[in-house]
Structure 1
Amino acid sequence: MADHENLQDLLADEERLQFARFDSDTALALGMFILEQARSRGHAVTIDVTRGAQQVFHAAMSGTSADNDAWVQRKARAVRRFGHSSWYLGCLARAKGYDFNQKFLLEPAEYAAHGGSFPVFVRGTGMVGTVTVSGLPQKEDHIFLTEVLDAFLAAQA
Structure 2
Amino acid sequence: MSKKENYPAIDVIKRQEQALQFTSFDNDTALAIGNHIIEQAKADKVAVTVDVTVNRNPWFFHAMTGTSPNNGDWIRRKSNLVNRTGHASFFTHVQAIDNGQDFNNLPTFDTKDFAAHGGSFPIILKGTGQIGTITVSGLEGVDDHAMVVRALKWYLKQDAIPLI
TM normalised by structure 2 equals 0.87
Report whether the alignment pairs 1:137 with 2:147: no
- Aligned equivalent of 1:120: 123
In structure 2, C-alpha distance between the alignment counterparts of 1:117 and 1:62, rounded to whole Å: 21
Deviates more, 1:51-60 or 1:92-101: 92-101
SS where residue 135 of structure 2 aligns? strand
| Residue deviations 1:42-66 (CA, integer Å, cap 9, x gap) | 1200000001110111000011001
CA contact (8 A) 1:48 1:132 kept: yes
| Residue deviations 1:64-97 (CA, integer Å, cap 9, x gap) | 0011111011000000100000001110011012
- Shift of the 135–102 alpha-carbon distance from structure 1 to 2, 3 Å rule, reads closer
- Aligned equivalent of 2:15: 12
Aligned with 2:45 (options 38, 42, 47): 42
In structure 1, C-alpha distance between the alignment counterparts of 2:44 and 2:29, rounded to whole Å: 22
Misfit runs of 4+, over 6 Å: none
- Shift of the 93–28 alpha-carbon distance from structure 1 to 2, 3 Å rule, reads same
Q: What is the CA-CA distance between 1:98 and the residue it aligns to? A: 2.3
CA contact (8 A) 1:116 1:141 kept: yes
What does residue range 20-31 of structure 1 map to in structure 2 within 5 Å? 20-31=23-34
Identity of aligned residues (%): 42
5+ long unaligned stretches in structure 2: 1-5, 159-164
- Shift of the 62–23 alpha-carbon distance from structure 1 to 2, 3 Å rule, reads same
SS where residue 110 of structure 1 aligns? coil
Q: What is the CA-CA distance between 1:101 and the residue it aligns to? A: 6.0
| Residue deviations 1:10-49 (CA, integer Å, cap 9, x gap) | 1001001111101222112221221122222212000000
What does residue range 75-90 of structure 1 map to in structure 2 within 5 Å? 75-90=78-93
In structure 2, C-alpha distance between the alignment counterparts of 1:4 and 1:93, rounded to whole Å: 13
Report whether the alignment pairs 1:98 with 2:95: no
5+ long unaligned stretches in structure 1: none
Deviates more, 1:89-98 or 1:35-44: 35-44
Query: Could you say what the CA RMSD is over the residues aligned between the two structures, in angstroms?
Result: 1.6
Which structure has more helix as a fraction of its residues? 1
In structure 1, C-alpha distance between the alignment counterparts of 2:107 and 2:51, rounded to whole Å: 25
Q: How many residue pairs align between the two structures?
A: 153
- Aligned equivalent of 1:65: 68
TM normalised by structure 1 equals 0.91
